[in-house]
Amino acid sequence: MLVTGGRDGGRPLDEFKRRMREIASSDEALKYLDECTKGEHGPKAAASAREYATERGYGKVAQVHEHQGSILHKLAAMQPDELRRIESMSDEEIRALITDGSGH
């Protein structure tokens, strides 16, 4: 059993990572991965193995995250009459204002 390093002892983290790389690149592991990509261990294993091989060979696909800015930034950009209007708005109207900027 491999244990990562820490206050309780165990292997140092660098040694653990080195050992994991050795296991992952062993002939046995690569043979099993090849078998999986060919579907020899079932369709789920094949799909996972192909995804794993693709990500390791070409890199993971970049994830796009939409950022709408902070609430404080949006409040700071509002005109005084818009800020006064917030006092009479319902929670739902405030959420809509923050989300899309229209308040409708």
pLDDT digits (tens, 9 = 90+) for 56-78: 888 887 776 665 566 667 777 77
User: Can you tell me the distance from the alpha carbon of 48 to that of 20, in angstroms, rounded to the nearest whole number?
Assistant: 19
DSSP classification of residue 72: H
Percentage of the chain lying above the pLDDT 90 cut: 28
Angle at 58 (CA atoms; ends 32, 48), nearest 5 degrees: 40
**Band (89; pLDDT cuts 50, 70, 90):** confident
Angle at 94 (CA atoms; ends 89, 96), nearest 5 degrees: 125
pLDDT recorded at residue 94: 79
What does pTM read for this prediction? 0.46
Q: Is 16 helix (H, G, I), strand (E, B) or coil?
A: helix
Residue at token pair 């970049």: 62
- Please tell me which of 3-17, 31-45, 80-94 the model is most confident about, judged by mean pLDDT: 31-45
Read off the pLDDT of each residue in 14-18 and give the average, rounded to a whole number.
89
